[in-house]
Amino acid sequence: MRSSFAIPDGQRVYAIGDIHGRDDLFAGLIERIRADVAARPAGQVTLILLGDLVDRGPQSAEVVERAIGLHREFPDTRLLIGNHEECFLAALTGDVRRLRYFMRIGGEATVESYWTSDVNLSQASFEEVAEILPGLVPGSHVDFLGAGEDVIQIGDYVFVHAGIRPGVPLEKQALSDLRWIREDFLEDDRDHGVMIVHGHTIRENVDEWPNRIGIDTGAYRSGVLTAIVLEGTERRYLRTDPPEDEAAVAA
């Protein structure tokens, strides 16, 4: 197992874990990244969103809008499609079955964040929501989420939403694994040849192993949103501090 991984010279990467509708935390972490860049100027800054921008938290629409706007400040901003984006886009096709599944896994909060219809959402049927919702989500949001990537490699680091299928070359990975895999990836200790940075699976703290680093710290319920910062062979982290009430709930 190799012990050193590096980002190309002159480049710095900030990768942000699962936001899940917490635009307040997203804004706070971007502010910390902005301050970090100002304090430590870098040649090229790449900002990577590891997916699952939406669902569970109350501000999915606001999170997507903020993510779209990041390109103005950080031109090299890149998005990975998470399993929740996959389900959100499927729910926008008007398929009632897909909408039901989406709402069952946390999508109800996303629907509420976009719901500006005169129809009372709490009284609407799934069929009504499936018909109305696609017209409430801006086309710019659909285009942005749909244009996301599935794998990003920079130097010795590979960024994915959920993980990879161990033993399968990167170019042959199935989308279902990149967006959904858990135990088969998390419990495998083999050398992947690169360091995998991922979200998807919540841990109380950064989950750092010789072959992977998980940075989903459960922002929607813990109040802690985490970013990994990579430059050369240096690796460090930025995170939001949970408000006292969320810290108590997390404990």
Task: Tell me if 110 is assigned to some domain.
Answer: yes
Q: Quick check: 248 pLDDT over 50?
A: no
Residue-level pLDDT at 11: 97
Task: Tell me if 179 is assigned to some domain.
Answer: no
Task: Tell me if 82 is assigned to some domain.
Answer: yes
The Cα–Cα gap between 243 and 251 comes to 12
Task: Tell me if 169 is assigned to some domain.
Answer: no
Q: What residue numbers bound the domain in which 229 lies?
A: 11-152+220-250
Q: pLDDT tens digits, residue range 195-245?
A: 999 999 999 999 999 999 999 999 999 999 999 999 999 999 999 987 665
For 111, the enclosing helix (H) or strand (E) is: helix 108-114
Task: Tell me if 187 is assigned to some domain.
Answer: no
Q: pLDDT tens digits, residue range 188-203?
A: 999 999 999 999 999 9
Residue-level pLDDT at 1: 62
Domains identified in the chain, total number: 1
Task: Tell me if 157 is assigned to some domain.
Answer: no
Task: Tell me if 199 is assigned to some domain.
Answer: no
Q: What is the CATH number of the domain that holds 70?
A: 3.60.21
- Name all contacts of 216-220 with Cβ < 8 Å and 24+ positions apart: 216/17, 216/18, 216/50, 216/52, 217/17, 218/18, 218/250, 219/17, 219/18, 219/19, 219/20, 219/22, 219/25, 219/57, 220/18, 220/20, 220/21, 220/22, 220/56, 220/57
**Tokens standing for 197?**
């940075």
- Average of pLDDT values for 85-106? 97
